[in-house]
A and B are shown apart, each in its own frame.
Chain A
Amino acid sequence: MKIQPVRSPESPYRSAPGIVLSGAGVVLDDGTRLFDGLSLEIAAGKTTCLLGPSGIGKSMLLRLVLGLLKPRTGGVADLFGTVALSNGEPVAGHAAYMAQQDLLLPWLRVADNVTIGPRLRGESVELASDRAARILDAVGLGRVGDRFPAALSGGMRQRAALARTIAEDRPLILMDEPFSQVDAITRLRLQTLAADLFVERTVLLVTHDPLEALRLGHRVVVMGGRPATVRSVHDLDDAPPRDPTGDGLLRRHAELLRALEEGNRWQEDRR
């Protein structure tokens, strides 16, 4: 099944801005420095994958970019540096967020979950509902819009979360290991679906899975150590989603694994 990307005819995402982090840092309550002056540019209109082992603060970095972290709350002692869009505006309000869990609200039917954004902002839900129905069709959930999330399988729930993310209609999409909790085949299908849906937007995807990074990323940034730093950057020329069985991809997979391992070893030496 080929999925038509959901976008308006004028495609507003052609001008999606990038993200610039300069000297960003997060200090936790126990004094741990997750990042110490991290500078990074997320290319406009491309998918950048932040790849690193668990526990180096990738999710925290994503929440920092989204503007969800505040000093002296939620275990965070202090923040420094700046995070902004390449056009100088703040990221908050321009980015849609997709987390590791599907975050579907169990008391809302699937279609109502997709329109939760307009609901929360007090906008017209009627207008959003037509669009939500089209998006649900696009992710293959057209028939289950009136069900509760509890009646859906894990893969279906993640597709509903994908639909909700698309429905937000933002030029930037920030994802935190969104496909890590489904089985391998479902994950491959979801990745393909996501790549088709996110064309032309600026996507920042945090993952610990090199294969996922290689399937979806225009650029893969390998992170490691504590405080975490950029260990290596890998630019990939062909357009995602890439065939997971291709020779090129498997060769790069080996490369990335090596890069990841070096990042890790460095971390262990430091302890």
Chain B
Amino acid sequence: MNGLFRGLVILAGLLAVWQAVVILSGVPTFILPPPASVFRSMVGNAGLLAGHAGITLAEILAGLVLGTGLGCASALLMSRLRPARRWLLPVLVASQAVPVFALAPILVLWLGYGMASKVAMATLIIYFPVTATFYDGLRRTEPGWLDMAATMNASPWATLRHIQIPAALPAFASGLKVSAAVAPIGAVVGEWVGSSAGLGYLMLHANAQLKTDLMFAGLVVLAAIGLTLYFTIDALSRRLLPWQSDDLSTNGEP
């Protein structure tokens, strides 16, 4: 509740600054529309925005599922198999040297103007943080736990399932949170390069027609999608990993 209140105060503060800039600078509304006209545009174009937002959201979610699935599989493979680690890790690191945005035109060329190229963009952008954090989490299992499991005659599979994976979940959850924050970037960049629908497409066209208020409205919806995703994953990880939440510290003697 406290957090919600703080969020509202921050939002109100930002809106006030925005309004003040508009009034004090006297810039024309097609450069910087006041918050009220963005809000009017949101209400007036609610149907249009919702339609395009639905498409972008679908791209982001599909990218999240695919990127997370591929990332988890790669991390597990690398942590279990030495050859996978030796061959996949350099590829993974090298792939990060290629800016994903530079790949957008190629992906559109290969996969077309439809959703597939945007899903691929989102997947690519999500894949790395998920793989890197989950792999790190799997690798950094407390060695004592592994020793203990070995003295208990645990099979490698049981050790992975009962110790390494649960131990890596907090790291995985933080990777997923980062992913949720960057996933919209992938989808929108893909839409900018070539598309016929989605918030990125809508904003690009609104921009070309100097409908700045509509562009800002799209931006607000995009930010809302990003925030919702982030907080949903945050809430889920708190619910599913109660043992690592903050309010569970020592309540006995120190």
Contacts and interface: CB of A to CB of B under 8 A. Distances in A.
A184 interface: no
A150 B248 CA distance: 7
Given A106-B243, A106-B244, A120-B162, A93 B144 contact: no
Interface of A: 63, 66-68, 74, 92-93, 95-97, 99, 101, 103, 105-108, 116-117, 119-122, 148-156, 168
B145 A103 contact: yes
Contacts of B253: 153-155
A105 B163 contact: yes
B221 interface: no
Nearest to A91: B151
Given A103-B142, A120-B154, A152 B148 contact: no
A51 to B, nearest CB: 22
Which of the listed residues A74, A93, A121 has the most CB atoms from chain B within 10 Å of its own CB? Answer: A121
Contact of B254 (A95, A153, A168): A153
A99 B163 contact: no
Contacts of B244: 106-107
Contacts, number: 84
Contacts of A74: 143
Interface in B141-174: 142-145, 147-155, 158-159, 162-163, 166-167, 169
A172 to B, nearest CB: 10
A267 B241 CA distance: 49
A99 B158 contact: no
Contact of A103 (B148, B162, B166, B242): B148
Contact of B151 (A66, A105, A122): A66
Contacts of A93: 153
Contact of A119 (B151, B162, B251): B162
B250 interface: yes
B3 interface: no
9 contacts: A92-B153, A95-B151, A96-B151, A97-B147, A99-B147, A101-B144, A105-B163, A106-B243, A121-B153
Contact of B149 (A106, A120, A155): A120
Given A106-B244, A122-B155, A151-B252, 15 more contacts: A67-B150, A96-B151, A97-B147, A99-B147, A101-B144, A117-B152, A119-B162, A120-B154, A120-B155, A120-B162, A120-B163, A148-B242, A152-B250, A153-B250, A155-B253
A156 B151 CA distance: 23
Contacts of A68: 147, 150-151
A137 B241 CA distance: 27
A116 B152 contact: yes
Interface string B218-254: 0000000000000000000000011110001111111
Contacts of B167: 105, 107
A148 B248 contact: yes
